[in-house]
Amino acid sequence: MLGPMNRPALLVALGSLLTVSAGVVARVSTPAAVVSDPAAATASIVSTAKAVLSSLDDAGRAKVQFAFDDDTQRRRWSNFPTPMFQRRGLRIGDLTATQRAAVMKLLETALSADGYRKITEIMRGDEVLKSTSGGRGPGGGGPPGGLSFGEDEYYLAFLGAPSTTAPWMLQFGGHHLALNLTLSGAHASATPSLPCAQPATYTFEGREIRPLGRELDRAFELVNGLDAAQRSSAILSYRVADLVLGPGHDGKTIEPEGLRASSLSQAQQAILLDIIREWAGITTDAISAPRLEDIRASLPQTYFAWSGPTTPGSVAYFRVQGPTLVIEYAPQRTVDHVHTIYRDPTNDYGAKFVK
């Protein structure tokens, strides 16, 4: 079991957990000294959000702005493409180059370096899907009217006016992506969020891109490093084919299953924390650091569960679940189409601090 650790030491440890191993790329750690205060991070996000608003005309501001108590808009996110799912907000494809740059600057400010890389790779992958399917779905087919894919088909919305004190929400998403970041001063929640990928592997500028590759590689490393007793607890006796707590399942809970982290060695716990960081570390470091510290404190009560083959490259589902955490990774019958979900059942949409 991992012992207590202060926040600066935690940040250094979390930043250096990922080491070079088969199929895994080393991450350069971020020094704790550069991590700012959460309230200062919120102020930076608010400033860039206001820059987006300033770049718009009245019609654009009317599209992007919703009331904070608009619960319908709050829950309007999905993995489906347009028009299977109708999103509302500011469509990226309708923006000028300057406005589009302002939106991407906002996302870059709100997210960590890894988080921003992940969402841009997901969006770029959707552009690849568009180019290989004619924008009408895999194989160029699709229902009447066609399906819309690509980087233009993402939407930005603000619930409540961007503020350094009052609660508000930044919502961004499209096909296979939903970010729901609720902010209120020094408080923040990035759940529920839905980072998915199709294709899960593609080539861009001569490089292989895997938006969700790190978490998958580490998960296979963890499950294959378990001994026989640990594996008997971690591997479920039934098949899980899709997300249990995906879109449309707000407020639902499931009982923890699998292997408790308290039964893992310190090295195995480090891998589990590294997997968790791929979701909980998606926001800018000042926001994700206290979140990761809380998750680490409850790690002994956290479970790791697996469903499917354990051979790397196989179609397999896994789940990480703790007192304030649910992460699911669910391939859709193929390793090249993946759904994932990140939730905090105690604080989705900032439930703890927006009452």
Long-range contacts of 253-256 (CB under 8 A, 24+ apart): 253/345, 254/321, 254/326, 256/303, 256/321, 256/322
318-349 pLDDT, tens per residue? Answer: 999 999 999 999 999 999 999 999 999 999 99
Helix (H) or strand (E) holding 59: helix 58-64
Residues 6 or more apart in contact with residue 355 via CB below 8 angstroms? none
- Whole-number pLDDT of residue 145: 47
Task: With beta carbons less than 8 A apart as the criterion, state whether 130 and 149 touch.
Answer: yes
| Distance of alpha carbon 234 from alpha carbon 213, whole angstroms | 21
CA atoms of 106 and 119, how far apart (whole Å): 13
| Per-residue pLDDT, 134 | 56
Please tell me the predicted confidence (pLDDT) of residue 67. Answer: 98
Instruction: Give the 3-state secondary structure of residue 8.
Output: helix
CB 215 within 8 A of CB 342: no
Question: Alpha carbon of 72 to those of 65, 75, 159, 179, 293: distances in Å?
Answer: 14, 5, 11, 16, 32
Residue from 50, 39, 16, 17 nearest 286 by CA: 39
Q: Give pTM, 2 decimals.
A: 0.87
pLDDT of residue 132: 85
Q: Classify each residue of 10-42 as buried b or exposed e, where b means 16 or more C-beta atoms within 10 Å of its C-beta.
A: bbebbbebbeeeeebeebeebebeebeebbebb
Check residue 355 and give its pLDDT.
Answer: 79
- What are the extents of the domains in the chain? 7-350
pLDDT of residue 182: 98
Residues 41, 39: Cα–Cα separation, whole Å: 5
Structure tokens at 109: 């400010």
Mark the ranges of the chain whose per-residue pLDDT is less than 50. 1-35, 135-145
